[in-house]
Amino acid sequence: MENLIQESVSLASQTSYKVGGDAQWYAAPRNWDELEASFEWYQRQDVPLTLLGAGSNLLISDRGIPGFVLSTRYFRSYEFDAETGLLTADAGEAIAKLAWKAAKRGLKGLEWAVGIPGTVGGGVVMNAGAHASCMADILVSATVLSPDGKIEEVKPEELAYSYRTSNLQGGNVMVVKATMQLEPGYSKNEIMELSNQNWTQRKTSQPYHLPSCGSVFRNPKPYAAGRLIEQLGLKGYKIGDAQIAHRHANFILNCGTATAKDIFELIRYAQGKVEYHCSISLEPEVKLIGEF
């Protein structure tokens, strides 16, 4: 237990932005016993709880996170049922990895996720999606853990899914497992071809060469956030070492030594410019954690 709960752990390496301060207290359980032990420890403390997955859609303050940070990054296992098409996976499994494994089994329904840099848990919480498909389309159920230690199964209709959001966002309910319905009966070559097409499209249209969180803003339909920012001539604009990407203006890159403050200020700068010139309020897709 003393090795499971750690104090003053740097979180920068655990986010795709490679920025952020320390967790006051931190645990990354690898199995159910360690998860339960972590929760039992938390319940004896009078501190806030923050849940952390792959850190791919987060911006953590340079000041760090007070309280207890519980990570699911090592909580991994998965099982495919080739006959029914059901896929059950722990929260810490990478969505992209599962998408490729599904394609190799001729299972259709997850090929949109080949370039998604997140985990199953995060995908369920934020309704991850791409190529006109999303988690809400395939989710059968999710197993969640409440701060009081209660474990229950929830159905997608209980999650109030909409574009890149659900009612799990902003809460302390932890997704520990999810079951997804894929379509069996397709050829491996057919699904692999679709997956490769999606991956090629993402690689050519989005910057993967430097740390980022993926798309920074939700698209204010019918508009595209990246197009609005691009039209204002903001591609390449920098604050510190944070830069609006040349390849796709809805990406902000860490060009080497950016701080969370740099990235946060650039987010606010882009929001302000779009609000002033277009009278459109851009809502961040990236989740901000800590004080800015």
> Is the domain defined by 225-289 classed in CATH 3.90.78.10?
yes
| Stretch(es) of the chain classified as CATH 3.30.465.10 | 78-205
Fold designation for 78-205 = 3.30.465
Q: Which of 164, 166, 195, 212 is catalytic?
A: 164
- Spatial CA neighbour of 140 closest among 160, 154, 151: 154
pLDDT tens string 243-277:
999 999 999 999 999 999 999 999 999 999 999 99
Q: 194 with 115: CB under 8 angstroms?
A: no
- Spatial CA neighbour of 124 closest among 65, 59, 70, 57: 57
User: Would you state the pLDDT for residue 273?
Assistant: 98
| Stretch(es) of the chain classified as CATH 3.90.78.10 | 225-289
Helix (H, G, I), strand (E, B) or coil at 120: helix
| Stretch(es) of the chain classified as CATH 3.30.43.10 | 6-71
- Is 133 considered catalytic here? no
Q: Which of 61, 93, 111, 285 is catalytic?
A: 285
Q: Which of 16, 38, 71, 215 is catalytic?
A: 215
Q: How many Å apart are CA 179 and CA 120, to the nearest integer? A: 10
CATH class name, domain 6-71: alpha beta
Residue 109: count of CB within 10 angstroms of its CB: 20
Mean pLDDT of the region 278-283: 96
User: Would you state the pLDDT for residue 2?
Assistant: 58
- Average pLDDT, whole number, for the chain? 93
One-letter amino acid for residue 67 of the chain: G
- Is 281 considered catalytic here? no
Q: Which two tokens stand for residue 82?
A: 């080739």
- Is 164 considered catalytic here? yes
- Spatial CA neighbour of 195 closest among 127, 105, 123: 105
pLDDT tens string 192-247:
999 999 999 888 888 888 999 989 999 998 999 999 999 999 999 999 999 999 99
- Indicate the pTM of the whole model: 0.85
Helix (H, G, I), strand (E, B) or coil at 33: helix
Alpha helix stretches (DSSP H) within the chain: 32-43, 95-104, 120-126, 188-205, 225-231, 260-278
pLDDT tens string 95-136:
999 999 999 999 999 999 998 888 999 999 999 999 999 999
